[in-house]
Each structure stands twice: as structure tokens, then as C-alpha cells.
Structure 1
Amino acid sequence: MHFDASQHRCTIVINKDLPAGLAINAASVIGISFGRTTEILVGPDRRSADEINYPGVISSPLPVLLASGDYIRELQRAASEEEAIYAMPFSALAQSCKTYEEYGEKIAAASSENIELVAIGLIGPKKKISRLTGNLALFR
């Protein structure tokens, strides 16, 4: 996906019942995946007055919001029906695995309807993302 901060919004929605450590893990994984799959989301490096390099960071606000697990599943469904929205779902299954190989084996053997989502990242047109997430509380 090609990100345009003037037209797009990105957000991460975390299950409100997730313990803090697992919530931070979910947001981190989604953020890394966003950076890998979304063009121009990460801005260029910057230099301080004393010439220290600071690698590029996200070029747009990235609110982290809270929702029920059921609503996270609804967000996944809505995103799958809307071509303009890129979704990065993150599962409890992924958090339970010790290696990426283990995750690959377990996810390949599971049906999506049986995979519990603990978070989802969304990127898309500002109005569409706001409509889906505008009523959600900010993670604090």
C-alpha cells in the first residue's frame, strides 16, 4: 500500500482485556508490519544540530485504541469488504508461539473463524477509518 498522510489514516486497535505486556507486544508487531508493507509511512532520517542521525519515524499520527474482541473481529470483516482499507490482524495464536516456524504450522492448521484476534491495525481513507474507529477509547 502507498500511504499518503493527506488522505489516509492509520490506527491500531487492541483488545481492551489484554494485559499491558501483551498489548504492547501486539502494537509493536503491527507497527513493524506496517513499516514493512506500507510505502512512505516511515519518513526519512533526520539529523540533530550536532549531526547525530535519527532514523525515520512514522509520518502520521498512530493512535492506539481499545475495543472488545468482538469489535476487533467486526473491524476485520469490515476491512475485508472494503478494498481501500489495509488490515493487519494480530492473533492470540501468534502471541502463544515461541518461533515463527511454530506460528506458521499452527496458523496453517487453523480456520480463520477459530483464530482469536487480540489486535488489528488499519490503514485507509481518513473518513472510512474514522467511521470504524471514531468512537473507540484511546489506550492509556
Structure 2
Amino acid sequence: MEDRCVIILNHTLPSGKAANAAAVMALTLGQRYPHFVGEPLCDAQGRAFPGLITSGVPVLAASDEQLAALYARCEEQQLDRILFPAAGQQTTDYAALTAVVSETEATRWPLCGMAVVAEKKALRKLTAALTLFA
């Protein structure tokens, strides 16, 4: 079975903060799942450029309540997820972020979003009620 990934953003995020959250989670996805990235792309002159993800990454929208429910379902199903706590957009100091989030259980973090990796069918079932982020 082939794994896929999806990024789910809090629907209240303005476009700049949404782009930032998606980019941060995508970098982490690429680091954790290097097999998602395809072979280098070569142009007509033979110049190579880094490969792109081969299956695409849907970016979906969810409310706070939907994100909390998705977190719980991922926990129950033991699906891998990357969380982007809202505190991550309130500082540029990673040590400060780690200190802030360590004070609260992850289930209670306000989220900008989360990325989820799962088998294609399980991921579709998990996210069926969500729409594309606009």
C-alpha cells in the first residue's frame, strides 16, 4: 500500500500565515519521508533540478474543532502527523517555542495546521469532509 500525505490548515489563517504553515510542514514531511520526492527534473540542456513530490499534496481547510477531532482520530489509528502549533507563528525563537509548547498537552495546543501521512484509502476516509483551503 502506498502512503500519501495531506496538509490541513486552520481555515481562519490569512494567506501569508497559511503559506508559512504549509511550507514549514512540507519541509518536515520531506525530511521524514524522503521517498516522497521524485527523481531530479532535467531540462533540455541537461541541467538537473531537485525533484518534486510525485503524488501531490492536497492542502485542506479545517476548523479548530475539526483539527482536534482529526488529531484524536490520527492518535487512535496510530497515523503519523506533524503538528504546527499556533505558538509557532508567535515567535521566531525555536527555543521559546519548545518551552511554550512543553507547558501544555499536545491535545490542547491551538493549531495552525497538521500534516498527516497514511495509506491513500485511510487518508481519504479521514479527510472526506474537508474542502480545499482557499
TM-score, normalization by structure 1: 0.88
| Percent identical | 29
Deviation string, structure 1 residues 61-94 (Cα, Å, up to 9, x no partner): 11101111110111111111112x2111111011
Name 2:18's counterpart in structure 1. Answer: 23
Q: Select which of 6, 9, 13 maps to 2:4.
A: 9
* Alpha-carbon distance between aligned partners in 2 of 1:52 and 1:16, rounded to the nearest angstrom: 39
> For this pair of structures, how many residues does the alignment match?
134
The letter of the residue matching 1:129 is L
With a CA cutoff of 8 Å and minimum separation of 6, indicate the structure with the bigger relative contact order: 2
User: Is this contact kept in 1: 2:71–2:107, CA < 8 A?
Assistant: no
Mapping 1:1-140, distance limit 5 Å: 7-83=2-78, 85-140=79-134
Q: Which runs of 5+ in 1 are unaligned?
A: 1-5
Distance in structure 1 (CA, Å) of the matches to 2:62 and 2:108: 19
5+ unaligned residues in a row in structure 2: which ranges?
none
Would you say the 8 A contact 1:72–1:118 is kept in 2? Answer: no
The two structures, once aligned, show a CA RMSD in angstroms of 1.4
